[in-house]
Amino acid sequence: MTLPQIPQPVVSPLTPAAIFLVMTVDAGHEGDAREALAEVSSLVRAVGMRSLEDGLTCVTGIGAEFWDRAFTGPRPAGLHPFRELRGATHTAPATPGDLLFHIRAQRMDLCFELAQRIGFRLRGIARIVDEVHGFRYWDARDLLGFVDGTENPQGALAEHFALTAADSEHPASSTVIVQKYSHDMDGWHGLSVEEQEAVFGRTKLSDMEIPDEEKAPNSHLALNVIEDEDGNERKILRDNMPFGSVAEGLFGTYFIGYAADVTTTETMLENMFIGDPPGNHDRVLDFSTALTGSLFFVPSQTALDDPDSLDAPDAATAPDAMDPDATDPEEQAGDPDPHSSLGIGALRGRPQLRGDTTASVS
């Protein structure tokens, strides 16, 4: 029986608290990481049951390099390593990331507890390379003082732009790009309110869009409006959060953008960093520096709970992986070392994973 593809909680209400974890999986532990992915939903339930009204959720993403090492199925459409963007003035760097955990709730203690349990589960398997604790600032504003997410699609439109269709290769999935930005607060506060509004293309207090005929061509809003060939606007679903440290003098925004078609997000970033036309970069980058950049595939919740479903169908049912009486894999492959083609994955009834070096099971 084919199970319905239920999406992960990508389209969820904005929350006052969030934690973003980006991890890299240690070589040889790809199979262990796959098993851990299947347990994330149970960890969410265990922590979230303590306070159901606070809406604890977690969205899990898979990076391209980890996909190549851990799954036998072809990469999903749009999944590739984040592409560095080097403009004449500003750069969007590409940084490592095999797994993303986007944790949200009404309370930070729930987010922290879940992040801690995920970290414990993946201890010795993966390393946290970036951890950001986000918070709601005033009335959904970033630390630069402007409302963030005004143009987010809502309801059915949010699902349309953020989640793939039922007839796609991976139904009810998404692709997400994350970037961590630090802000030059001294330089920003050196601008007048009118100058700040020109940078964003929106009024600061009332959050109203500046008319097109008055909007600066290098304003953030002007460069982030993407249209298709018919003039219809293409959108993404953002859940950006402020973060910071007074002691470190670090004040920033964690950008996270979900899209059914990742080229929408990539076009926005190209306009920002390269410019449209080239050289006309987003003015907000003169006060915001990108520190990280990673891209992840977000499978459906159904697929995440059963990672074997992401393997190639023929590999998942290969006779040498499923039938102990089948022809010896060493003879089939012509490999003098049986452990190089038959590892713990095959002994457990799944295909051998690239990078899975365990050769025996207790």
Give residue for tokens 């439109």: 157
**CB atoms closer than 10 angstroms to residue 164:** 23
Q: Which residue has the tokens 């390393």?
A: 127
In single-letter form, the type of residue at position 361 comes to: V
Q: Which one is catalytic: 32, 98, 142, 148? A: 148
Non-local (6+) Cβ contacts of 174 within 8 A are: 7, 8, 10, 162, 163, 164, 258, 259, 260, 297, 298
Determine the length of the chain: 362
Helical spans, DSSP H, in 88-192: 108-121, 155-162, 185-189
CA-based nearest residue to 71, from 119, 100, 96, 34: 34
SS3 state at 150? coil
Question: Active-site residue 212, yes or no?
Answer: no
- Residues involved in catalysis: 148
